[in-house]
Chains A and B, each alone.
Chain A
């Protein structure tokens, strides 16, 4: 709290995302998810449960909408295909997880600054600081923030299942918000290793649990700031860029399948989806 600091750096403190911002990013982790090769097998979701100590809430609570799947497979049908009950076939899958937005709407509404932006371009949630006002979740257009409505840990891992909990991160108690972290514990380990070995982070040196578990390699994870990474190449190939929603793609080119969900809301998501292409006659 020093007045001198304010007066000297005032113009710096006034920079917003459009004018460059105040972030000094080391990495900006991102993803490219190819919906064309996603089979909706849910192994990403399962891997996420195992990696991130997600509680299994049981059927009853799941039906109430209190599930904790950071990574969920959303299923959509076209209206004509969807008759009566769930159609036998024709479901379209969409793995939905936290988009780690560059200008995240969840951040400015948190009253206690429990959610903030890391130098890795992540949208971090500080469990210890969270007071559970749940405004962040209400302001998330993707609805990918999950709240600990109960003390799930009490009955999610009956003995001896508690032995499989990941020791690298905490088990959350009731009353805090949580969400996908891009497996921040793995990022931490990788960054520590590179620091120790005094070398830059290699692409593919570590993967998130979902990317690792995907049997069809639909999820590509990497640093979008590194131009040589697979994910950057994919983003460039499909002409999707970071930053505010200003650029236009070549409309005519059918090869360009990349888009970001709710890009028009100007939240700068870090995940690019590749459109599904299907010949419906088949």
Chain B
């Protein structure tokens, strides 16, 4: 069975949340609140409340990056110094831990930040085509709701949107 993807535009968050609430209350057949993809010009904390819990896992990558950074830093520095111990300098030992801590700290942050950024690029599905189902008004002040619906329910969902103050509805075949 073929599917269609719908984009409905709303004037503000209030209008969009009415629609989300109705879908949540299962008053529309063929769509569930889990399928909703909400596009907005700003980040609104209530979006998460309305759509239900959707996990964010970036922090685990950050943690791994940071741990990698500090362990790698330690072993990199000590082994480099140990193989270059020709110059134990100024009365200090070959592996001076206090100074190495400084560099390990920098490496922790360095790897932490880069893994965070790469995790962000991956987890938020950036760096891939935006798709045609998009309106430039989304970056001004309108809110969009994207839903994937079966062909059977297409018209009923469209009607539902229209009766709930949707300013514009766009669709594409999946």
Contacts and interface: CB of A to CB of B under 8 A. Distances in A.
A and B, direct touch (CB closer than 8 Å) = yes
Interface of A: 1-3, 5-6, 9-10, 12-18, 21-23, 102-110, 113, 115-117, 268
Contacts of A3: 75, 79
B82 A9 contact: yes
Contact of B88 (A1, A9, A22, A115): A22
B75 A16 contact: no
B89 A107 contact: yes
Given A6-B75, A108-B92, A13 B87 contact: no
Nearest to B76: A1
B82 A21 contact: no
Contacts of B84: 113
Nearest to A104: B90
A145 to B, nearest CB: 14
Q: Would you list the 4 A-B pairs with minimal beta carbon distance, nearest first?
A: A103-B91, A17-B91, A116-B87, A107-B89
B119 interface: no
Given A6-B75, A21-B88, A23-B88, A1 B83 contact: yes
B93 A6 contact: no
B82 A107 contact: no
Interface in B94-141: 94-97
Contacts, number: 76
A71 B163 CA distance: 95
Given A13-B94, A110-B89, 17 more contacts: A1-B79, A1-B83, A2-B82, A5-B82, A5-B83, A6-B78, A6-B79, A12-B94, A13-B82, A15-B94, A16-B92, A16-B93, A22-B94, A104-B89, A104-B90, A116-B87, A117-B88
Interface residues of B, number: 21
B80 interface: yes
Q: Which of B87, B91, B93 has the most CB of A within 10 A?
A: B91
A113 B81 CA distance: 11
B60 interface: no
B86 A116 contact: yes
A13 to B, nearest CB: 4
Contacts of B82: 2, 5-6, 9, 13
Nearest to B78: A6
Contacts of B87: 107, 113, 116-117
Contacts of B85: 13, 22
Given A6-B75, A13-B85, A22-B85, A1 B91 contact: no
A17 B87 CA distance: 13
A268 B90 CA distance: 10
A157 B87 CA distance: 35
Interface string B51-95: 000000000000000000000000100111111111111111111
Contacts of A102: 91
A232 B96 CA distance: 32
